[in-house]
Structure formats: C-alpha cells, structure tokens
Structure 1
Amino acid sequence: MSYNIPAHLKGLTANALQGSRQRFGFNKMENERQHTVFKLLLDTLKEPMLLLLIAIAVIYFIVGNYTEAFFMLAAIIVVSGISFYQDRRSKNALKALQQLNEPLSTVIRNGEVQQIPTNEIAVGDLCITEEGRMINADGQIIHSNDFSVNEASLTGESLSVFKDKDSEDNKVYSGTITVSGLAVFEVEKIGKETRLGKIGISISSIKEERSPLQIQIGKFVRTMAIAGVTVFLMVCGYRFYQSGNILDSLLSGLTLAMSVLPEEIPVAFTTFMALGAWKLMREGIIIKRSSIVETLGSTTVICTDKTGTITENTMHLKHLYDFTSDQLYEEKDFSDPVLSDLIQYAMWSSEPVPFDPMEKTLHHIYEITQQDKRNEFRLFHEYPLEGKPPMMTHLFENDTQQRIIAAKGAPEAILAVSRLSDSDKEKARKEVAALGKKGYRVLGVAKTHFEGQGFPEKQQDFDFEFIGLVVFYDPPKKGIREVFQQIYDAGIKVKVITGDNADTTQAIAAQAGIRNEATAVNGSEISSYEENRLVVVADQTTLFTRMFPEAKLSVVNALKRKGEIVAMLGDGVNDGPALKAAHIGVAMGSKGTEIAKAAAALVITNDDLGKLISGIAAGRRIYANIKKALQYIISIHIPIILTVSLPLFLGWLYPQIFTPVHVIFLELVMGPTCSIVYENEPMERNAMKQPPRMLTDTFLNWRELVISIIQGIVITAGILLVYQYMVKSGADENKTRAMVFATLIFANILLSFANRSFYYSIFSTFRNRNNLLLIVTGITLLLLLVMLYLPPVTAFFKVASLNPHEMGIAILVAAASVLWFEIYKWVKRIKKNGKV
C-alpha cells in the first residue's frame, strides 16, 4: 500500500538504528529463555524410563555384570538421544510457528517505508499505523490523518479516542488498536519499558493451554505409573521372599516396572501435535498453539464471513442508481454527467487513504470520470462507521472554507436519515431489494450542508439528501461449491455471519452451494432474544445478516452453549470478540487486520476457505493416528508385562525369561513405531466422510480399550503357548527365550501393520504409503537376525539361534495371534455396508 507521508519524515539511518539497538535492545516483553543443549539433556534425564535404566545399570555394576551394565549405559544414550531428537524437533517446529505468528510493523527508515518484524522496532523509529492495526510500541504522534485509537487494553474504556500531534495526550501505546485513519509516531519506548510491559501484560504472548486430550492422556500415564510402582513393590517383595537376594529382587521389580511404564505416550502426543502444526504451516495454515490441531478435527460448525471468504473480494462496481432520475446505470454509462454527484459523494464518504476494497474502487472510478479535487480538500472531521445498520460521514474543507459533507452506508441507515417521503423511501427500498436478490452489495450515498463548528454529536442528526446507490458485485470464489460440499460431507454445519443485507447474502449463499432452508436473521433481532431462545435460533438459522460485533459474539456463544465446536472466520476489528470466543478463531492472512490475527488461534495465509478443510482433515488424521499409537502401545505392552510377570508368579521353569536388556530392546523398537511411524500415517479414505467426534470424548472409549486389551491378551496367549511348547520339547532356557522373543518381535511387527486401520483390511492399508513403517520394520528384523545369529550378540542376550522350522513356528504363532483381528474388521465392514 502507498502512504501519503510528508517528505521530511526520513526515520532512522542505518547507523542510528545500530546505536539505538545497542542502547535499548529489541522490542520484546521479556528475554527469551534459550533452550540450551545442556538444559534439554537435563530435562530428558528426568524421564522415568531413563531413571529406571540408570538404577538397573547401577545394580549391574554392583553385582559385577559389567557387560549388561555397559549395555544399559548404551541404552541410556540411545533412549535419551531419541527423546532429545524428538524434543528438539518439536521445539524447532513450534519456534518456526512463533516466528510466522509474529506480526509485521510498518516503519520509515532512510526515507523509505519498510515492513519489519515487530520485535525489530527500535527506539527512534518512525512507525506507521492505520485502521485495524495493533500498535506495538509507545511513542509520540508526529503526523496523522483522521486518527482514532481504542485504548481499552490499558484504560478499560471501550470508546475510541481521536488524537493528533496537537492533542493534549499525543501519545500512542503498545497493545492499543487503531480504529480509523492513519498516524506516524516516533517510538519512545519498547518491550518491557512500554506502559503495557510495566503492568506485566503482553498482548502478543501465547499461553499454551492443556487440551482435553492432553488432560486425558496425563491421567492415563499417571495411572500406569502408579500401577508400575505397585507391581514393582509386589515383584520385589515376592522375589525377595523366594530368594532372599535384595539386588536380584530389585532387578526383577525394575524389569516389570519398565514393561508397565508407557513412556512413549507423552512423547508421541507432543510429536504428533508439534509436527502436525508444522506440516500445516507449510500448507499456508499458521497455528498459534499446537494443541489447537486436536480441536480442529472436532469442529462441528463453521461460522464464516461472506466478503473475501466466500466471495473473491474484488468489489467490482456493477451499477450506479441515481435516485433523482430513478435510473440504473451500467458501467459503460458511468461518465454520464447525471452521475457526477453520486460518484463524487461516494468517493468523499470513503477514507482519503482507502483500506476497504469498495472504497478503493470508488476512488478509482472518481479518478477516471471526474475532475480530481482531492488535493484541494482536507478531512477535518469524521464520524466513523457505526450504528445498527452502520453508516459513516466525512467532512472535508478547502482553503476557502468550502465544505463537502458526504455519507454512505447500509441503504436502510442512509434512507432513515434522509429527508424523503415514505413513498420515496419505499421506492428506494424496492430497488435495493431487487439488486440484493441478484447477489449485489448495495450502499446508499447521501450529502448535506452545515455551517459553523457545532457539529451534531451523532451523524444521524444531520439532515441528509439522498443521492442514490452504488452497486458492487463480488462473485463467489471459483471452486467454493466444492469446498462447502466437502464441509457438509464431513458432517459440519455452516453459518454465514455478515454485515451485508439478507437479499444479497441469500443470493451469494445459493450461488456458493450453502444449504439454507431457514429465514435469515439480522443483528437487531439477535439482540432482542433471551438466552434460551437465542440458542434455538442460532442452531436453526444459517444466514445471519446486518451483524455487528455484539451480535456476532452472541451467536458464537449460543452455539457453544448448544455444545457445538465452533470455528469462526473473520478479518476485521469488529470480528475480534467473536474470534476470541470461538473454539477456533480463524483469521485471513492477506486481508485480515492485525487485531483479527491477534485474536485468532489460526491464520490462513492466502484467505482460502479450502485451507480450513485441510486443517480439519489434518486434525482428524492426527487424532486418529494418536489413537492408533495409543492402542498399539497398550496392546503390545500387555504381552511384555505378562511374559515378564506370569512365569515368575506361576513358578514356571524359567521365571526370568526376560531381563532388563530384553525389555529395553523392545522399548527401543516400540518407541519409534508409535511416535514416528504412526505420526506419518496417511489419513484413512473415509475420515472426511464421518461426522465430527465430540471434543469431550475420551481418547479411548471402553469399546476401543477392550479391543486393545483383547489384542494384547491373545498375543500373550500365543507367546506363552510357544514358551510351554519349548519347555515340553526339552529346550534349554536360551532356546526358549529366543523363541519367545522372536514370536513377540514378529507379533509386534504384524500389530503395527494391522492397527493402521481398525476398519479397513491390512491389505487395503498397504495402498496408504508410509515409508517410515517399512524402514522401521526392516531395521527391527535386521536387529532380530543379528541377535539370533551373531555369536557375541547371541551370548550377550542369552539366546540361541533358531533353525528354519523354529523360526516358522514363531512366525505362524505371531500371525495367528495378531491377524485374527482381520476377521473382526471384516465382520465390522459387512455389518456396516454389507460388503467386504
């Protein structure tokens, strides 16, 4: 955007900028804590699994088992390395998100207007702020044009304040919002030294709230940790009762505790959320809190604006309606002298430096059809856009005190303040209705004359002369019908919340493919409803027209009370309250104001509504994959726990069939599977054809939990069957351990494939490409072969090599104990649709 800035305003030079930076630093509320490698390692070493490994290593050193001790030390390095890598990966993804979330500020440096990250604002900078922008430093106004600011964040006062360089208070403050006009201010204070910083408030700070899923997972992990401590004490006590050896008892107890502790779950959750947000960022969807990804998949209602979201926001001037002649003119006739007044006053009622697309169009039409007098007149008084429905009035004056007073706004508002007979008003209303039914955006234009300085307190108190209508056409975006079809297919409802009139909104909604069978409701009606009635109306209505900020907020809150998960799309200052109140506030990156972006939880960089569908799909994919990972963890932990504990408690021949080295090997296999492989799992093809889940649903319901437990028990049965078969065959402990271990590894691999879908067959899921699954599977098989057939490793793990017959038995038992689940899925598909 070009700015009409006085030429003498040059701003900081490069040398002055460097000096200011050295003296005052950067524009940050607090010094960012650097996550040093040492701190990350220290945090990693606090993990329960690593503490268990350290304890086991110490015991091995005490009893003189140095080979096992050094292996456990190596395991500590590997496990901490994996955790460190995942942690760094997550933090780097979140850091990239935070950098993209940071708003840009406009400054003048070396006489040039530049866009810079807000944290780079320096004391002495000349900052430009305009309508809808948040002010990001304290300073003094040195130039302004019809500038007003809302300082509610500091004063609590909701009304905007007009200021200029001659005002008694000619300061602007960080965290306040420009309501109208433009101002250039010289920065005096930044960061913690601003008024906002001194009272400890940071508008730009993002507080990471624990989501419902995080809370549920936290409770589950705590329950499992308590169970781990309980079984540890039980096994220690029982083993000590049997052997009287305290160190041997501790080793047995720690082995079982390792098998119980689901340390993969928190790592998996963090990884899924952070990487999910990072992947969306690459698609042009900036997520401010990684946990919002989870909420996205639960969206049940999308509340969207019309202009620029459903439509192209091109605001092409389609017609001009002259009231005096009662004629509707097309574009080719805009040069007709009859339209001179209408075009001029439509332009004068717009901002001198237009921000809105319609106002830009009016300035352009004025330039090409009229003698340009904009440099002769200055705006000396303004009534900003307000009222229900809204209108705005501008007062201009030249050097000879000749005045121009122009108003424009919703036709109903302009007709209400114009001196017209009832029949003339009805004639104009019919024209507005006819144009609205074609999907046109219609504004009324009026003029008046006023002498002296005692202007009315309200613009509605002027005595206006109605001139006519300006008629814009903003067509629906290409492909928008397909986007809404995808939304409906996903079981999500759509509400249109707009400031436009009902006729225009209904026409555009029909063209865009929005399903609507109810009568449109306007903002003034919303204000009159009681709370219970509003909930019903909000649920049943699709089109909300002539909406103002309070009405938008009321609708969002009513939908939330109904139990809906609401995504609200907005781009203006007036959308801020509703964006903040919604479960997911979505701001438009291109045309959105900074205050809208600050209030939103998600920003779509190219204003494409289709990107929100991508976000919802990603949310569903991530949630589904988290559940798959958790069910996999539960299913595979059960056979490990029972294989470690049952031989001990039942007094079988080889009670310590697994030692800590075997359990940690299994943990190293399971960790990458649940946190890396399942995170990379593609979305199932029916995911966006399902209704959204309830946000309050537990991450595993009883049915899903029972399925996972049954899977784990069946695998356990297969493994213990192999155990008893080998014992009955007269195999020694090493051979028996090798068979049991190999069976468990093969079952683990097959389970990771089977649990890719709880509906589609394992063969169908092969079409969903996931290279990481193949890589991890290959590495796991290679390590198993090394363990079984490389003599030094075989001796260390106390196993024996298996012949082809024994290997075949292990594979068949593993397959039988896992692949029965395919029959369950087959029956499930038949029940659902009668076909495989």
Structure 2
Amino acid sequence: MMDSPVPPTSHPRAALDATDWALVDASDAAATLEVDSATGLSAAEATARRERFGANELDAAPPEPAWRRILRQFADPLIYLLLGAVVISAIAWLFEGARGVPIDAIVIIAIVIANAILGYVQEAKAADAVAALQGMAAVSATVVRDGRSEQVPAADLVPGDILALAEGDSVGADARLLSSSSLQIAEASLTGESVPVTKSATTLPEAVPLGDRANMVFKGTAVTQGVGRAVVTATGMQTEMGHIATMLAQTEQEPTPLQKEIAGVSRTLGIAVIVIAVVVMGAIGFTSGIGSLQDAVDVLLVGVSLAVAAVPEGLPAILSVVLSIGVQAMSRQGAIVKHLSSVETLGSASVICSDKTGTLTRNEMTMLRVHTGSGVADITGVGYAPDGDVLVDGSPLLESDPGLDLRAEDIVVLSGGTLASDAEVRQDADGSWVVVGDPTEAAFVVAERKAGLTERREQRFTRVGEVPFTSERKMMSVIVEDAEHPLDGTGRGRPVLVAKGAPDVLLQHCTRVRSGMEVTDLTDDDRRRVQASVDSMSAQALRTLAVAYRPLETDEHASATDAAGDFDPEAGLALEEGLIFVGTVGIIDPPRSEAATAIAAAHRAGIRVVMITGDHPSTALRIAQELGIAAAGDRAIAGPELDAMDADALRAAARDVSVFARVAPEHKLQIIDALQADGQVVSMTGDGVNDAPALKKADIGVAMGITGTEVSKEAAAMILTDDNFATIVAAVRQGRVIFGNIRKFLRYLLSSNMGEVLTMFFGVMLAGYLGLTGHGESIVVPLLATQILWINLITDSGPALAMGVDAETEDVMARPPRRADERVIDGQMWSGIIAIGAVMAIVTLLAIDIFLPGGLIEGSEDVETARTAAFTTLVLAQLFNALNSRSERVSAFHRLFSNRWLWAALAFGVVTQVLVVHVPLLQTAFGTAPLAPGQWLVCVALASVVLWFDELRKVGIRALERRR
C-alpha cells in the first residue's frame, strides 16, 4: 500500500516506475494518478501529460545519420576495386609528370559519387514508404476522457488514462485493473505463458513474478475474453515490454526469399565476372603487351570497370523502392500490407479462404420478404439506406391497399418488429446510414421506413416495458401503450404486448392468427402454412423471424409492475401467452455486388475460393452458389463432419469442397493445414480473436480493418480497410503485377550487363578480326573503362525503376498462380538474358567493324570514332532492351506508351548520350568523337536489332505455348 499519493504532474517519473502497482488498491491507484475512474482525464490534462511523459512508444533504434548512410553506399567490394583503380591511376599520372588532368581518375570518382547519391535517394524513398505503411496499421485504444469513451492512437496514452478493455483489443499500455468481468489476457508475447491469464481487480497481498500479477495488464498483450477497466500506470519504455526491449540487442532484419535469391544471383555473377575480367585483362596483356605503368593502369581499369558494370549492385535498393511503391499502391486500394516480403507470397496465392459475413456479403441485414395470411409482400432496396418499397403485386403497399383492409397485418409485422427491437438506424454527417444495435433488428427499422410507417408508429406507440431476448428463449417482447385506443379516465393508451422471435418458438405462444383485419383461432392448417413459408424462405438462404401481439387488459399490465410502477421483466414472462400470430419475414445479409466479379476473376487466375463460416450450412451454400464459389449440386460440410474425419479424409474434403459451415476456430486451422499439406499457398480472412491462430498459420493472413479486432490485425500479414473480398483479389492482382515488374527489371539489368561483359570479352579476344589492332594504341579494348561505367550509371537505374512501376503489359490474372518453389529467374528467363546479351555484343562489335578499316567489313574511320559508335550502339541497344524487357512473351509494341516514366528514362538516356558524344568537355572525359547524322543512323539501326530479334524470339515462345 502507498502512504501518500504522488502527483504525476509534479513528481519525477521514477517515483511512478518504482511503484509496484499490483500491491496498490484500485481506488488508491486512481487517486495516486490523479484521475476520476468514472470520467477519466480531461483532454487538456492528457495533452499536458503526453508532453511530460512523451509518446507511448518503444524506442526505435537511433536513426542512422545521413553521413553514415552515404558512406555505406561505398561499402561494396567492387567499389573498393574502383577506388583502388582511382588511386593507381592517380599515382601513374603523377609518375608520368602530372601532365594535363587525370581524366580517368576524375571520371571514375564522379561516377562512383553519382552512384552513391542514387543509392542513398532510393534507400530513403524505401524507408519513407515503409514508415508510412507502419503508420497506417497503428494500434488504437479505447479510453475514457471527459466522461466519454473514445478511440485514440495507442501512442497517445498517458499515465492516468482510463482504459476500456474488451474482447479482441490489444492492451496499449501497462495498467492497474479497476474492474473486470470474465477478463482473460493472452500474455504469451510477454511471459511465454501459452494459456490466457484470468484477470481480477483484487489487490495482491505480496510481490509476485510478472506472470502472476493478475490485477495488472501489460502493453503488447491481447484481450481474449471479457471486459475490464484499468488505469494506465506506465507507457513507452517504462512498460514491461519496454524493459525487455531495452535488454534486447539490435538484430539484423532477415532478408526476404526474393532478396536472398537476388543476392545469390549477384554473388554468382560477381564471381563469374571477376573470372572473366581476369581473363580479359590477361588477354589484353598477352595480345597488346604492357609497356608502361599507364598500360598496367589501363588494363586494371578495364577489368575493374567490367566487373562493376556486370554486377547490378543497385539491385537491393531498386528492389526495396519497387516493393514499397507497389505496396503503397495497394494501400490506396484498401489493402495494407504490413511487410514488404508478403508481396512475394501474394503472387503465389492459390486458395483464398474467406469468411462470409462482411467480406463476401455487405454485413447489412436486409429484409426481402413478408409472409402473412394475405400473401407475400416483397421489399426492394439493399442495405441500411431506406431506399426502396414494400411491394404487393408489384405496387407499393399503401398504394395497393389504401384502406389497409386486406394487408393490415403487413403493417403490424413491420411496425411491430420495429417496436420489439432496440436497434437504431441513423444518417451520419457524410450521408451514410449506420446501425446502432443488432443488425437483424435494424432490418425491421429500415423496412418500416421504406413503407413510410415510421412517423405514424412513433406518434401512436410508447414503450413502457420489455422482456429481453435471451438465447434460451429465442424471442423478446415489449409492452407499448397505444395512443389510438386510450383508456378511459387515465390519459394513457391501452397496453399492448408485441413479440418478435423464431417462428417455431413464437407459434408455441400463439392461439390466434390475424389475416387482414380479421383475427381467428390458430389451426393446424395455419401452422402448416407458416412452416411452409419458413421453409420456402430458408431454402433461399433467408433468416426468418416472426411477429405476434396481444392487447392487454389493464390489470394484466398492472400485475407485471412493481410498487414503484416500474415494469418487472420476470413477471412479464407470464404475459407472453395467448398471442395473435401476424406474419413471418425473411432477412438476408446480401452478397456484395462486386464479390461475384472478384470471385470470377480469382477463378480465371487459377485461384480457388473457399467459404469458411459459422453460419448455417444451407445459408452458406446458397450465398456461395449465388456468388459462384459453389456450383449447383455442391454440398457444404459442417463442423461436426470435420470432427469425424481423419487426416486423409480432411485433405480430400479441403481439396474438393468449397463451403465449410458451422465451423469452430480449430476447424479453420485444420482446413488450412490440409490445404497447405496439399501444396497450396493459402490466404485466410478473419476478424475475431478466435481467427488469430488461423491468420497466423495461413501463408497470407488477411484481417478486417473495420470489424477486425486488434488481435486479428496483429496476427495478419495484410489488413483490408474496407472489409471487402474484392479488395483481396485486387491485392493478389497487384501482388502479381509487382512481382512481374521485379522480373522485368531483373531481365533488363541482367541482359544489359551480360551484353557489356560479352562485348568486352569477345572484343578483346577477336580484336584482330575487328580491326582493333594496329592503330597505335598500346592497350586494345572495344570500350574504355570510363565508357563502361557511364553505361552502367545511365542505363541501369532509371529504366529499371520505371519498369518497377509499370502497368500490366499482359493479363496477370489469366495465368495460374506462381508455384512457391518457382525461381524468380527461371530457365527460360536465363536463356533470354544470355541471348539478348549476345545480340547486344554482336551489334556493338559489328559497329566497330563497320567503322574501322582492317576488319571483316572494311571501314574508313579512326579508332576513336569507331569506339564512339560502338559505345553509342551499346547504350541505344540497352534502351531498346528496356522496351523488350517489359514482357517475356508479349510484343514490346503492346501498350507501348503506357509507361510515361519509362519513356522519360529513355529520353534522358538518349539526351545524355548525345551530350557525351558532342560536348567537348565530355568528349575528353569519356574518349568520344562526334558522330555525323549518318553515323548516328547506323548506330540506331544496329541497336534496334535487339528489339527485332526479341520480337522474333517472342513469336517463337507464343507458338510453342499454343502447341502445348
């Protein structure tokens, strides 16, 4: 116990942190923290405490300084080689008398710095995108402030806040319980305890370990059952979770499978290219001889620049940016992906297991039909907006029967059902209609509004008592006073009991039936008629409810009131006899209009859709058939059937059956296990606490953003902000587009770099055949080191990033899901990379041969012009290759101008190449000579061969696909 309060606004925080709140009475805890447990903190006080105590957040790793991030761009073995080459080049320049400017060293330094700046910018963009996504998925908490409950970000909690805890909530801060009812908390994330802990507000007599503090709740844990109130005692790093975070050493984030594969490709390429570079340097030395230190430096520069150019060292940064941009696009469509790595799995999803209510349906209970003794009335309109009519024989109810002689019982059903409910339907400021209360009861309220009866009912009837609904009774009743039938001398209306409930239950309380204005005894034929109407609506997946009533005598009403005149529900049970049966209604949660289209798109993409719901099998199957999940004649399997199955039978059922109904949480896990054992990549939707294990087990867990609990959101990999199945399919499409774009820029980068490697290798090996020898140069190379580095800088990052945001060049939903074991760069893609690289090398070397004398084709230009033509041809060939790389099989001319960013990157590449060729300063730096218009045309024509070759290759691929 504490001897005296410690005002948190005036005392150091250490005094609060040192307190063992489990030993403090609940009332004393609130007093110590200066808060009224009923009204909570004021908004002004909460703001003041947040300024004093800081945000309720765990300290992140200190942000990496910008200078360190810049330096990290140079931490690459190949960059070390380049920098070493710069040093050697500078030393050679000094030894040779420091004549002129060390062009090679300056150009290499400039390119290395430019590459570092580009990498820095790309990393910063990726980090910003990820941070924005994390903010979207931030946890919230319910607090009492200024006497009102409100949702606030968990980061805004302060010591003294009153937390309102309910099933499904995440606990936002450490807090002392003030009250609880059946409260259980899952504390595995903190204590390792696998079973939820039962909590109580009782003060502990002595200090106990963390896991035994039953009157405390802790940040980062989750409410699995019950409700409670608690006063926040610690936030941020002062919480128990914060203490653990303080002790944890910073760990490296595990790379995703995609990043691992790309790193592996880069390493393999690096080794191969270094070997090739060594061979090339040896060949240069053998064929040309090394007569001076400058010759050795030139050979080294060629080898090092070749290695740097061939390995796409910018891949990790480009990959992060592309993933982040794609995930941001998904968030704008209503799908928040919490981890970038999940995008890989989205493209592979082969089965989507979806809940029914709210995901495939609108979660807006809508009354469609009324059955009475006079016949059937249909109700138009869907959802909670009162737009529609009650139709009898195709005409609105009141118009078809102005005197209400024949269809008066329809009026009683709608208004009576509304009276016997506690739901409200109201319009928000934005014009949307929302329900407060039970959605099924709201269906009566909306239908009554459609019939135009609301005002009349409100003026006529006043509720004076209620016998509430229970799951055992399956009905509820209200006592209302009818102002149109006043009691003499009292000024009050006659009491009437109105009941609503399950038809079979309500019939047991009825002795009479109403048809039109006539009330007669309830016969067996009447009971059969009612049952037939119930069966008819149930077959259409409608939920049925019935309405009955009975005018009460004054003494009957008095017998159910206590001495103070208040209605006694227990005594009111006796009044629920001898009722007059009026009619039955059919209510449904209608399917989302867009869900059927999305399901069809999923099926076309080779993705199965499986409905897993707790609803009745017939209702689930009917909705599934309407949406196209199940076909006519299919069956639904219920939970008890699953219990009776062994592993083989369950796997067979999961493979063949698309509707599972009346399932428990463990059944969802069993279905997912069976599907995964069958080799499927499973996406699973859920919203409740009991869905969390299945969401975590699934390859892609999808939580509902509107109806989902905090626990389900934390367990899931993706959150739907609109709870809409169509958004899942849209996310799968976007995931496939992102993955396809990754393959595009990988195809582009690797084939372009392959072209550079092969050009240098065969250019040295075939120098004599190309006419490269005998021109007074001590070192014979097809391209200079600075030219290779320029190609690597200009043609890599811009087009690659532009392809990362490319639109669909082919219908990604027209092919089956990518297998989980399928390589990002498969055999067909490698063959294309090598083939395109070879063609690039051929046309580049052909440009040298065309312009130089002494080769296979006799030319007349000097070696500087020929090398410039080859340099330009290779740059343009790579820009043409950007158009090729947008698809492995679809023509580059399909949707040719759909990506403006790609065309901007290509234009930038062309303009900078023109500058390098024709600006004197750049000519000196890169060893180029000006080209005449005709020579430019030759370079463009040669470079375009890459495009035409790949078009022919794609024709062959499509022909092979048609023959399969």
Which deviates more, 489-498 or 246-255? Answer: 246-255
Cα separation, partners in 2 of 1:146 and 1:431, compared to 1, 3 Å: farther
Determine the structure 1 residue equivalent to 2:731: 615
Determine the structure 2 residue equivalent to 1:741: 871
Q: Normalising by the residue count of structure 1, what TM-score does the alignment of the two structures yield? A: 0.81
SS in 1 for 2:852: helix
SS in 2 for 1:40: helix
- Residues 636, 748 of structure 1: 8 Å contact kept: yes
- Residues 219, 240 of structure 2: 8 Å contact kept: yes
Pair 1:243-2:298 in alignment: no
| Distance in 2 of aligned mates of 1:125 and 1:764 | 60
Determine the structure 2 residue equivalent to 1:542: 658
1:440 to 536, 542, 553: 542
Determine the structure 1 residue equivalent to 2:610: 495
- Residues 490, 689 of structure 1: 8 Å contact kept: yes
1:333 to 389, 392, 412: 412
SS in 2 for 1:762: coil
Q: Normalising by the residue count of structure 2, what TM-score does the alignment of the two structures yield? A: 0.71
| Distance in 2 of aligned mates of 1:299 and 1:817 | 35
Q: CA deviation at 1:167?
A: 9.6
| Distance in 2 of aligned mates of 1:810 and 1:743 | 5
- Residues 268, 674 of structure 1: 8 Å contact kept: no
**One-letter amino acid of the counterpart of residue 755, structure 1:** S
**Mapping for residues 770-789 of structure 1, pairs under 5 Å:** 770-789=899-918
2:219 to 157, 174, 196: 174
Determine the structure 2 residue equivalent to 1:458: none
Pair 1:101-2:217 in alignment: no
Percent of pairs with identical residues: 27
Determine the structure 1 residue equivalent to 2:716: 600
Q: Which ranges in structure 2 are unaligned for 5 or more consecutive residues?
A: 1-34, 94-100, 206-213, 373-407, 424-434, 449-456, 477-499, 509-526, 548-575, 774-779, 854-858
SS in 2 for 1:575: helix
Which deviates more, 531-540 or 30-39? Answer: 30-39
Cα separation, partners in 2 of 1:546 and 1:116, compared to 1, 3 Å: same
Determine the structure 1 residue equivalent to 2:932: 803
Pair 1:214-2:259 in alignment: yes
| Distance in 1 of aligned mates of 2:543 and 2:592 | 15
Pair 1:710-2:812 in alignment: no
Q: CA deviation at 1:428?
A: 12
Determine the structure 2 residue equivalent to 1:348: none
- Residues 650, 671 of structure 2: 8 Å contact kept: yes
- Residues 130, 178 of structure 1: 8 Å contact kept: yes
- Residues 305, 788 of structure 2: 8 Å contact kept: yes
Pair 1:68-2:104 in alignment: yes
| Distance in 1 of aligned mates of 2:920 and 2:185 | 78
- Residues 37, 231 of structure 2: 8 Å contact kept: no
Q: CA deviation at 1:801?
A: 1.6
- Residues 639, 662 of structure 2: 8 Å contact kept: yes
Q: How many residues are treated as equivalent by the alignment?
A: 762
| Distance in 1 of aligned mates of 2:89 and 2:628 | 70
Determine the structure 2 residue equivalent to 1:629: 745
| Distance in 2 of aligned mates of 1:278 and 1:256 | 36
Determine the structure 2 residue equivalent to 1:526: 642
| Distance in 2 of aligned mates of 1:429 and 1:582 | 42
Determine the structure 2 residue equivalent to 1:584: 700
**Mapping for residues 378-527 of structure 1, pairs under 5 Å:** 435-441=537-543, 472-516=587-631, 518-527=634-643
Which deviates more, 571-580 or 206-215? Answer: 206-215
| Distance in 2 of aligned mates of 1:608 and 1:518 | 25
- Residues 610, 659 of structure 2: 8 Å contact kept: yes
Determine the structure 2 residue equivalent to 1:420: none
| Distance in 2 of aligned mates of 1:258 and 1:645 | 14
Cα separation, partners in 2 of 1:570 and 1:142, compared to 1, 3 Å: same
Determine the structure 1 residue equivalent to 2:58: 29
Pair 1:44-2:78 in alignment: no
- Residues 85, 301 of structure 2: 8 Å contact kept: yes
Determine the structure 1 residue equivalent to 2:25: none
Pair 1:278-2:328 in alignment: yes
Determine the structure 1 residue equivalent to 2:195: 158
Cα separation, partners in 2 of 1:736 and 1:139, compared to 1, 3 Å: same
Cα separation, partners in 2 of 1:393 and 1:95, compared to 1, 3 Å: farther
Determine the structure 2 residue equivalent to 1:403: none
Q: Which ranges in structure 1 are unaligned for 5 or more consecutive residues?
A: 1-5, 323-328, 346-352, 386-390, 396-406, 416-424, 446-464
Cα separation, partners in 2 of 1:656 and 1:512, compared to 1, 3 Å: same
Determine the structure 2 residue equivalent to 1:91: 127
Deviation per residue, 1:262-311 (Å, 9 max, x gap): 21332332222111111212222111001211211211111111100111
| Distance in 2 of aligned mates of 1:393 and 1:150 | 33
Determine the structure 2 residue equivalent to 1:559: 675
Determine the structure 2 residue equivalent to 1:132: 168
Larger radius of gyration: 2
SS in 1 for 2:72: helix
Deviation per residue, 1:49-91 (Å, 9 max, x gap): 5434423332332222522322222212211111111111111
| Distance in 2 of aligned mates of 1:230 and 1:429 | 84
| Distance in 1 of aligned mates of 2:36 and 2:439 | 27
Cα separation, partners in 2 of 1:73 and 1:620, compared to 1, 3 Å: same
Determine the structure 2 residue equivalent to 1:57: 86
SS in 1 for 2:593: coil
| Distance in 2 of aligned mates of 1:782 and 1:319 | 70
1:287 to 332, 337, 361: 337
**One-letter amino acid of the counterpart of residue 194, structure 1:** T
Deviation per residue, 1:28-59 (Å, 9 max, x gap): 23334323312321322224454344233323
Cα separation, partners in 2 of 1:52 and 1:370, compared to 1, 3 Å: farther
| Distance in 2 of aligned mates of 1:33 and 1:392 | 60
| Distance in 2 of aligned mates of 1:16 and 1:339 | 43
Determine the structure 2 residue equivalent to 1:402: none
| Distance in 1 of aligned mates of 2:605 and 2:328 | 23
Q: CA deviation at 1:622?
A: 1.3
Determine the structure 2 residue equivalent to 1:259: 309
Q: CA deviation at 1:429?
A: 10
Cα separation, partners in 2 of 1:149 and 1:255, compared to 1, 3 Å: closer
| Distance in 2 of aligned mates of 1:305 and 1:579 | 12
- Residues 795, 909 of structure 2: 8 Å contact kept: no
- Residues 441, 500 of structure 1: 8 Å contact kept: no
**Mapping for residues 562-573 of structure 1, pairs under 5 Å:** 562-573=678-689
**One-letter amino acid of the counterpart of residue 762, structure 1:** A
Deviation per residue, 1:83-119 (Å, 9 max, x gap): 1111111110000001111122122234443322212
SS in 2 for 1:183: strand
- Residues 271, 675 of structure 1: 8 Å contact kept: no
Cα separation, partners in 2 of 1:410 and 1:828, compared to 1, 3 Å: farther
Pair 1:312-2:362 in alignment: yes
| Distance in 2 of aligned mates of 1:234 and 1:434 | 83
Deviation per residue, 1:377-424 (Å, 9 max, x gap): 9x9xx9xx9xxxxx99999xxxxxxxxxxx999999xx9xxxxxxxxx
Q: CA deviation at 1:436?
A: 3.4
Which deviates more, 287-296 or 55-64? Answer: 55-64
Cα separation, partners in 2 of 1:567 and 1:275, compared to 1, 3 Å: same
Pair 1:697-2:819 in alignment: no
| Distance in 2 of aligned mates of 1:66 and 1:11 | 73
2:151 to 104, 111, 115: 115
- Residues 50, 80 of structure 1: 8 Å contact kept: no
| Distance in 1 of aligned mates of 2:473 and 2:799 | 58
- Residues 500, 546 of structure 1: 8 Å contact kept: yes
| Distance in 2 of aligned mates of 1:638 and 1:272 | 23
Determine the structure 1 residue equivalent to 2:883: 753
SS in 1 for 2:352: strand
Over the residues paired in the alignment, what is the CA RMSD in angstroms? Answer: 4.2
- Residues 144, 165 of structure 1: 8 Å contact kept: no
1:672 to 797, 815, 819: 797
Determine the structure 1 residue equivalent to 2:378: none
Q: CA deviation at 1:560?
A: 1.1
| Distance in 2 of aligned mates of 1:392 and 1:474 | 23
**One-letter amino acid of the counterpart of residue 557, structure 1:** D
**One-letter amino acid of the counterpart of residue 28, structure 1:** E
Q: CA deviation at 1:817?
A: 3.7
